[in-house]
Structure 1
Amino acid sequence: MAKYLFKLGLWSARSSKKVLLGTLIVLLALGALILSFGWSFSSELTIPNTPADKAAKVIGAEFAAAGQTGPKIQIVFKAPEGQTLDTAQWQKVMDDTMKGIGEVSEVAGVTTPAQLQNLSPGKQIAYGEATFKVPAPDVKEETKTKIEQRLDNARAAGLQAESRGDVELSQGGEFPVEVIGIIAAFVILAVTFGSFLAAGMPIVSALIGLGVGMLGIMLATHVVEVQSVSLSLAAMLGLAVGIDYALFIITRFKQQLAQGYSVQESVAIANGTAGSAVLFAGVTVVIGLLGLSVARIPFLTMMGISSALCVITTVAVSLIVLPAILGWLGHKISPAKAKQQAKKRNAKQAASGSAWGLFVTKRPLLVAVVSVILLGVIAIPFFHINLGLPSEGTTKAKDTTERKAFDLLTEGYGAGYNASLVIGAVVDRPSDAVTQDIAKIADEIKQLPGVQAVSPAIPGPSGKLYLMTAIPQTGPDDTKTKSLVKAIRALSERTEADHRIELLVTGTTAMNIDIADKLNQALPVFAALIVILAYMLLVVVFRSLVIPLKAVLGFLLSLGATLGFVVFVVQDGHLLGLLGFPGSGPILAFLPVILIGILFGLAMDYEIFLVSKMREVYAHTGDARQAVLDGVRDSGKVVTAAGLIMISVFVGFMLAPDAIIKSMGLALAFGVLFDAFVVRMTLVPAVMSLMGKSAWYMPKWLDRILPNVDVEGESIMAEMEKKGKKIA
């Protein structure tokens, strides 16, 4: 593999202008296609064939003929302080507002608060409803603007008016959070390389790879359903790994320049050596991302595929386009004077070793124990994790109309109103005495623990399905609400046996609960699969049975600490203000799966970058301790810079207004912090020092049958030495 990448890098360096022109043409062509066809992302996070999904389809089919389907929004009103909404003045303002909304072209119809008779007990809060003619994603911005104008008129009259539901009125305009990570990455790279030109190259390379990947994802939205959150995750990951991979290659390029190789020789060697590590690091990330499909959850599968596409394009750009950039501008990175200084510095480092490496290898047992205890303590909150899909009360910023509407409904009707459960009673017998049985069942539901109220049952057009709504006493994110959903479904077993009436439970809250349960079931299978596949890959790369095992166990420690810290912040409510979260709530149901897929790949990236150098030294010297010292010294700075860049990019996404993106940014930022600095840079050298030569144990029979991927590029360097540093 190293020889092929060596030749690829040499070709790119020699054909730099052609490669860069071709890249520009590809970007322009993809951009032109996007401008012509646009894109169509979905906002739905659903799982087919869950109990709530099946119930929603049955109920939807029953009431579709009656024209009672279509996306809806609630318009929530609140009277001024000290006043109530039951006066003629405020009734007129609410009626006029709803009438104005009903006149908007894409609105099918409206229902006023007076028609719904839903004044809150204190008579200060009420809401109307508007139903749309078109699916929620197809509602035009012009329509949203006109509805917002009607709300502004109500506000000008003196009422508070907010909206929530299937169509969100809060529009974009947010600062592009990716810019924050890019700026931070540029500063870190400038310090690492001591050159603004060199610092800009990894960012340019990453942006090209990310651009190709994201444009490809946008085009794919016309063929398959892609969720909008997939693009954010792909951008977050593609940008971070793209910069890191370019950093690793450019670092090796500078080392070869300092040793007297020409620009083209240095490019080719860097691509064959560091490029091999980048390729295998990228493969581990892609394995983790594609492994998300094991859960058989469509939106999760698409998130994995989208992110994997961005990783693949950034790897390809790092191995093809970056060598062309280096071949074109590489001679400006390290002038002759700097080469001599680098030689002296390298000689001094070789004699003294890394200060951090010396510290760890002198007291490996103490360092290892402290590291494990630290990560273990941080992981403790993980054991009371509550998974779910957060509601508007935890995902929406406090200044959005959706969050304000959510809070008003909670204030007026109680926390359980926002957790309403839609219950369909399906009748499987002749209609005699059905009405009485449905009434009895409704009374039984009222008596269940945690039920605040149950609406009267409404018969469907066929007479075979009755619809009612149960209001829990607790909110949508509360574990007691989950227990209530299970209790109603358990009651269905008895109603089927006694009355031949099945109870179906659906609604947003029930769907979120089912999604969380489905993800929990998929998590062990997914985790086991990617760990086994990655272990096998690392055995081939490192020619060792023990080091891949150490890498996997280290990942489990960092994963536990990451999830523990996320629970401590997001669920337990600590540091919310400092980290910018709108409120505490459950952990995003698919966050652990995504975190495992991504963090495992990144952890293996750092493992490959760090340990591949150790293996190279051990293969030449047979000195296990020196291999650890040289690995920490030569690759430690790269891993440190790469980790800081990753954290910077993910912290940038933590500043996004969307709490889902924010929570993923938090998890990945602290996951990289724990893994790169506590596990890879501290625990790994400590454990390898304790194991000594046994770390590199490999049965001879297994070593013979495994392919030699030469990830360190030993064959290239041997060939270069034979040719006297000249490329044939």
Structure 2
Amino acid sequence: MAKLLYRLGRAAAHRAWLVITAWLAILALSVGAFLTFGGTLSSQFEIPGTETQRLADQLSDELPSANEGVGTIVFSTEDGSEFTDAQKKEIGDALNQAGEVSGVSAVSNPFQAQDDLESQQQQIDDGAGQLDQLIQLRDSGQLEAAVASGAVPEGVTPESVDQQEAQLEVGQRSMDLMGDYGFVSPDGSTAISTVNFHAAQPEIEPEDQKGVMSAIDDADIDGVQVNYSTELAQSMEIFGAGEVVGLIVAAIVLFIMLRTFVGAALPVLTALVGVGVAATAALSLSGVVQMASVTPVLGLMLGLAVGIDYSLFVLNRHRQNLRSGVEIHESIGLATGTAGAAVVFAGTTVVIALVALGISGIPFLGLMGGVAAFSVLVAVLITITLTPALLSVVGLRILPKKHREQIRAGHVVEEVAHVKTPRAVRHPLLTVIAGSAVLILLAIPVLSMRLGLPDGSSEPADSTQYQAYQIVDETFGAGRNGPMTVVVEYPEELSEAEANDLQLKVGEEIAGLDDVKNVVPAPLEDGTNLALLQVVPESGPADPATETLVDEIRALSPDYQSSDDASVGVAGTTAANIDISQVLADALPLYLGVVIAISLLLLILVFRSIVVPVIASLGFLLSLAAGMGALVAVYQWGWLGGLFGVSDPGPILSFLPTLMVGILFGLAMDYQLFIATGMREAYVHGHPSRVAVVRGLVGARAVVTAAAIIMTSVFSGFIFSHLAMIRPMGFGLAVGVLLDAFVVRLTIMPALMTLLGDKAWWLPKWLDRILPNVDVEGDSLRKDSAPVESPDAKLEREARESVDTEVAAALAGKRSRSAR
């Protein structure tokens, strides 16, 4: 592989402008495909096979109106007073305008709806008084005489009285179930309007959502504050200010490391081209594939991070070659064949881990993994083609001015500082204990992790979504933010009266459960044997009590199946989120096991060792647990919540642990590869195991440190994203990378390698014979080139070998003390 990449790097360097033009053309085609075929993104998730998805499909077929997408508009007076008649009229006019928006099927007027509720209750009360008299006349046998005398209207019969009595009973039972359910708060200062769209929730066009909000905002009602639920106001933009800040920090780190603006700009430029191609190509599929808004953002996040890092690895090796006196094009070829080979292998591990998300059987998660894997693949291709081309174009400007002058003068006199033996090697046992203790301590919160999907309370405190959620919570109760739909499927032979009775019977049993605030029966519709009930919990949609309530409602179904041949199910966003979280939690152990198996196989192939892959995998598990523990502490427990914009702590994003497994595994293997290959290279070339550890660690730690800081910076930029689902993702990945790079790869791993000595490189002979040589270190290139060592290169080598001298002296001193 090293030879092939060497030839590819040299070819790209010699035909630089052709390669650059080709990538620009690919970018243009990708952007064109997005503009032509791109569709809409969704904030909803679906998992085929769950009860909520089955019921959603059934409702879509039999009761399309019950499966319409919805949004909520919250009106409140600025001074907390009751709405005036003028304000009510202006709100009604604005809602009428919103109802004219294409894609909107209906917009409720909360004041009219509240009046209708009160009128309905009044009619029931009035009817009850009149019916009492009729019932007395019927029961006494005087009804016909009363009709004849004119005391009772004509047409009243005992049968009609029976019918009125039954209707009144149904109406009163329904009102009793609804309780204090309303559309205007008791103090008259807050009102809720529901917007219904023709399309299902995941298919609502952003233009329709914006059209509704524009119609309301344009009214500019004096003294009235308007806020919108997440379903209406959720932004689908995939790049914001926080992400830009992360890129700026990454560029600053690059400049500090490389000390040249050209060098700092080049990895950022290649990464931007890569994510431009990957993101627009992925978005071009959104017209034919239902794609969550988080899907392209994940690809963008990962593409930026690995794109910068991978380019940096090749660029750094090229700079080393140049300082050693290697000609530019030869240097580019060698850098691509050595560092590029490591990049290809590292990128392959990330791609495999992300594609393996498909084994979860969860379509949206598999799509997210596929898009992210494609972004990483493009980053790898950019690194081994566009990066060499750009390096050829910039020439020696990749180096600081002082170094360029030295090279042009024909000699390299770069000073190499004497390097002390790293602390991890000098005190390995203490390092392993301390590092492991830190990670285990950070991992403790993960034991209490709850999974869920974000709601309005997860949005920034200054956002309209958060304000809408809080106002509804305070005035109508937390459960009004996440009502659920109970679906009762009854036998087709039931009469309307019997179906009504069954519907109310189920509703009354549900109302008797803990945590139920209101039950709202929906009118029965002809042509279907489904009865619907809207259930409003006391608790919010992400509260554990709501999850318990969903389970209790579903537990009613077996009894109704045996007694009434009916079934009871729960649909709606709240129940769907609970189902999705459970399916993801069940799939996580399998996926984690697959990832660990992949890591062991790949690392055995690269390092030709059994122990090194085991160390790498155990280190990954430690950093993963610690990263998820920190995630729980901040986003679920609320520790340091103000610092990270966590307004209301809640459950962890349900698919985030699975994504963290795949992504952190790939990135952890990147750093493991770049550090441990240097150790193996030194070991197979005859250096003692302790010296090999030092050489590998010292040789890679600068670039790995910079790469980890860059990747952490990019991920950290997403912590303050405008998308609620992206913020914890950015935090979890940033912390995970930071811990894995600095605590595991640069500290615990070399300490363990030092303690194990030669045993770290043990491999059964039979396995050694059958394993192919992947040549990640690029040994074949060194053998083929066999360069003559220049005086300057000799000086640099001797300076670097001072590390060996120190280690040897330390070992000699240890032996001498032991002998005494």
TM-score band by shorter chain is over 0.9
- What's 1:259 paired with? 324
Amino acid aligned to 2:476: Y
- What's 1:9 paired with? 9
Question: In 2 relative to 1, CA 218–91 (structure 1 residues): closer, same or farther, beyond 3 Å?
Answer: closer
Which residue of 75, 85, 88 maps to 2:85?
88
Structure 1 residue 113 corresponds to structure 2 residue 110: yes
Residues in 1 aligned to 2:294 and 2:317: alpha-carbon distance in whole angstroms: 35
- What's 1:46 paired with? 46
- What's 1:617 paired with? 682
- What's 2:462 paired with? 399
Helix, strand or coil: the match of 1:477?
Answer: coil
1:76-120, CA deviations, whole angstroms, 9 ceiling, x for partnerless residues? Answer: 2223435224x5344323322322322334433322113422222
- What's 1:508 paired with? 573
Helix, strand or coil: the match of 2:534?
Answer: strand
- What's 2:635 paired with? 570
Which residue of 238, 244, 249 maps to 2:309?
244
- What's 1:555 paired with? 620
Question: In 2 relative to 1, CA 558–455 (structure 1 residues): closer, same or farther, beyond 3 Å?
Answer: same
Which residue of 370, 376, 396 maps to 2:434?
370
Helix, strand or coil: the match of 2:685?
Answer: helix
Helix, strand or coil: the match of 1:466?
Answer: strand
Helix, strand or coil: the match of 1:99?
Answer: helix
User: Cα offset for 1:424?
Assistant: 0.7
- Any conservation in 1 of the 2:47–2:53 contact (CA below 8 Å)? yes
Which residue of 475, 479, 489 maps to 1:426?
489
- What's 2:723 paired with? 658
Q: Which aligned pairs between 1:166-245 and structure 2 lie closer than 5 A?
A: 166-168=231-233, 175-245=240-310
Question: In 2 relative to 1, CA 262–172 (structure 1 residues): closer, same or farther, beyond 3 Å?
Answer: closer
Residues in 2 aligned to 1:181 and 1:527: alpha-carbon distance in whole angstroms: 29
- What's 1:477 paired with? 542
Once the two structures are overlaid, the 10-residue window that deviates more, 202-211 or 629-638, is 202-211
The alignment of Structure 1 onto Structure 2 pairs a total of residues equal to 716
- Any conservation in 2 of the 1:71–1:167 contact (CA below 8 Å)? no
- Any conservation in 2 of the 1:50–1:514 contact (CA below 8 Å)? yes
Once the two structures are overlaid, the 10-residue window that deviates more, 108-117 or 490-499, is 108-117
Once the two structures are overlaid, the 10-residue window that deviates more, 246-255 or 437-446, is 437-446
- What's 1:412 paired with? 475
Question: In 2 relative to 1, CA 338–658 (structure 1 residues): closer, same or farther, beyond 3 Å?
Answer: farther
Residues in 1 aligned to 2:445 and 2:394: alpha-carbon distance in whole angstroms: 50
Q: Which aligned pairs between 1:436-475 and structure 2 lie closer than 5 A?
A: 436-462=501-527, 464-475=529-540
Amino acid aligned to 1:469: Q
Helix, strand or coil: the match of 2:196?
Answer: strand
- Any conservation in 2 of the 1:429–1:500 contact (CA below 8 Å)? no
Residues in 2 aligned to 1:384 and 1:169: alpha-carbon distance in whole angstroms: 29
Question: In 2 relative to 1, CA 275–501 (structure 1 residues): closer, same or farther, beyond 3 Å?
Answer: same
- What's 1:128 paired with? 193
Unmatched 5+ stretches in structure 2: 115-181, 791-820
Question: In 2 relative to 1, CA 442–141 (structure 1 residues): closer, same or farther, beyond 3 Å?
Answer: closer
User: Cα offset for 1:68?
Assistant: 5.4
Structure 1 residue 102 corresponds to structure 2 residue 99: yes
- Any conservation in 1 of the 2:718–2:726 contact (CA below 8 Å)? yes
Residues in 2 aligned to 1:359 and 1:393: alpha-carbon distance in whole angstroms: 46
Question: TM-score, normalized by length of structure 2?
Answer: 0.83
Structure 1 residue 156 corresponds to structure 2 residue 221: yes
Once the two structures are overlaid, the 10-residue window that deviates more, 124-133 or 445-454, is 124-133
Question: In 2 relative to 1, CA 33–487 (structure 1 residues): closer, same or farther, beyond 3 Å?
Answer: closer
Amino acid aligned to 1:78: S
Residues in 2 aligned to 1:292 and 1:648: alpha-carbon distance in whole angstroms: 25
Helix, strand or coil: the match of 2:532?
Answer: strand
1:409-436, CA deviations, whole angstroms, 9 ceiling, x for partnerless residues? Answer: 1111111111212101111363154433
1:619-667, CA deviations, whole angstroms, 9 ceiling, x for partnerless residues? Answer: 1124111111111111000110000000110111112121211111101
1:143-171, CA deviations, whole angstroms, 9 ceiling, x for partnerless residues? Answer: 55553344336653322222326433768
Amino acid aligned to 1:18: L
1:259-302, CA deviations, whole angstroms, 9 ceiling, x for partnerless residues? Answer: 22111111111111111110110011101111111111111111
Over the aligned positions, Cα root-mean-square deviation in angstroms equals 2.4
- Any conservation in 2 of the 1:62–1:460 contact (CA below 8 Å)? no
- What's 1:379 paired with? 443
Larger radius of gyration: 2
Residues in 2 aligned to 1:174 and 1:630: alpha-carbon distance in whole angstroms: 41
- Any conservation in 1 of the 2:34–2:280 contact (CA below 8 Å)? yes
Question: In 2 relative to 1, CA 481–69 (structure 1 residues): closer, same or farther, beyond 3 Å?
Answer: closer
Residues in 1 aligned to 2:390 and 2:218: alpha-carbon distance in whole angstroms: 57
- Identity over aligned pairs, percent: 38
Helix, strand or coil: the match of 2:228?
Answer: strand
Which residue of 389, 394, 411 maps to 1:329?
394
- Any conservation in 2 of the 1:43–1:137 contact (CA below 8 Å)? yes
Residues in 1 aligned to 2:551 and 2:406: alpha-carbon distance in whole angstroms: 69
Residues in 1 aligned to 2:111 and 2:190: alpha-carbon distance in whole angstroms: 12
1:337-395, CA deviations, whole angstroms, 9 ceiling, x for partnerless residues? Answer: 5559996556x45xx43x3x43111110001100000011111110000100011111x
Residues in 1 aligned to 2:351 and 2:234: alpha-carbon distance in whole angstroms: 36
